[in-house]
Amino acid sequence: MSLQLDFGSENTAPVHPAFVEALTEANVGFATNFEAEEWTAGAIRRLREFFEHDRLEAFTVTTGTAANAIALGAMVPPYGTILCHWDAHIETDECGAPEMFSFGARQVPLAGEHGRLSPDALAKHLSHARIGVVHSLQPAALSLTNLTEAGTAYTPDQIAALTAIARRYALGVHLDGARFANAAASVAATPAELSWKAGVDVLTLGTTKSGSFGVETIVSFNDRYNVGLAYLRKRSGHFSPKTRFLGAQLQAYMDDDRWLKNARHANAMALRLSRGLTALAGVTLVHPVEGNEVFVQMPDAMVERLVQRDCKFQRDWRPEPRHHRFVCSWATTEAQVAELIAVAQAASVSA
């Protein structure tokens, strides 16, 4: 059987053995449901060390869309707006979940190069917002994404520059960290530096794209949101009864620096992939590669050759300029990267 070449998403990769083990180890005897058990309690203790923040609260759920929507739903009133990059996952890929969970708050898509929200765009929008005028929705939250949807990484300073503007307007700050580990690996910052120390109130911490079965955690650094988060999680059907299996996976994410090791590997594979591809005629990067994703324009013949080889990737990711997305994960191997490049090269040569 030939090598699987799946660069479609981190979520097409198999689950990392550490998470399989975590599940198996947690499956001993009886344990009280709905978080009245040690696995979740232990995970929260570990999170407090991980983020160097002893009062954070955490709420596990099973999808990233849920984590983002519950976080934002608890942070903004229905008459609020959520300011985000136009390319953010909450804007493009969640079918309006934040609107549903906030009961109709509006997302305002703002500009910025390579997926990073521009401080100028943010400041300008806020300066024109009609604060206190009842006819207008009121700015209520800033939502950032790190890695961004363009695969780039914010540094702590870049986040702080944006949250400082947000604070002047009393906005809450949310960070979608579906690829938080990849960002941390990329900019060599600690979890604390990339979150509350940079002004983040509520973080969606992803472990799914890092290799778990599917655990996303809403991490709240601001206790004003905690009651709302708890009820909204339950009310939206996201309070899992068998929480021990979520808590166990969340612990596995942090244990042995698994989060960081997996992220470094995935980032390294993406860098290798981008170097290989961009060496080919007609292939150009659309965004700098700062994490585990590669966004490229490439000749149609090359796209077709990859498809014929049954290579999976996000074809036609965005239309202008038309380009494609390749994602690496903990499971991506050098051999897979090499073969993908070889297939692409073959198309290049034959063209």
Closest approach of Cβ 123 to a copy of itself, in Å? Answer: 13
Selection from 268, 284, 272 nearest residue 323 by Cα: 284
Answer for the pair 163, 200: CB distance below 8 angstroms, yes or no. Answer: yes
Q: Nearer to a copy of itself by C-beta: 36 or 281?
A: 36
Q: Nearer to a copy of itself by C-beta: 103 or 308?
A: 103
Q: Nearer to a copy of itself by C-beta: 13 or 181?
A: 13
Q: Nearer to a copy of itself by C-beta: 49 or 130?
A: 130
Closest approach of Cβ 245 to a copy of itself, in Å? Answer: 6
Q: How many residues does the chain have?
A: 351
Q: Nearer to a copy of itself by C-beta: 66 or 189?
A: 66
Selection from 331, 293, 335 nearest residue 314 by Cα: 293
Half-sphere exposure of 242 (CA within 13 A, CB side): 8
Looking at this protein, which amino acid is placed at residue 47?
Answer: L
Within 10 angstroms of residue 328's Cβ, the number of other Cβ atoms is 28
Q: Nearer to a copy of itself by C-beta: 168 or 319?
A: 319
Cα of first residue to Cα of last residue in the chain, in angstroms, is 28
Closest approach of Cβ 90 to a copy of itself, in Å? Answer: 11
What 8-state DSSP symbol labels residue 312? B
Looking at this protein, which amino acid is placed at residue 144?
Answer: L
Q: Given the structure tokens 């999680």, which residue do they identify?
A: 233
Closest approach of Cβ 342 to a copy of itself, in Å? Answer: 18
Closest approach of Cβ 163 to a copy of itself, in Å? Answer: 24
Q: Given the structure tokens 């996976």, which residue do they identify?
A: 249
Closest approach of Cβ 85 to a copy of itself, in Å? Answer: 16
Q: How far is CA 100 from CA 76, 86, 90, 179, 253, in A?
A: 12, 18, 12, 24, 30
Selection from 173, 154, 1 nearest residue 83 by Cα: 173
Q: Nearer to a copy of itself by C-beta: 109 or 288?
A: 109
Q: Distance (Å, rounded) from C-alpha 245 to C-alpha 27?
A: 8
Closest approach of Cβ 288 to a copy of itself, in Å? Answer: 24
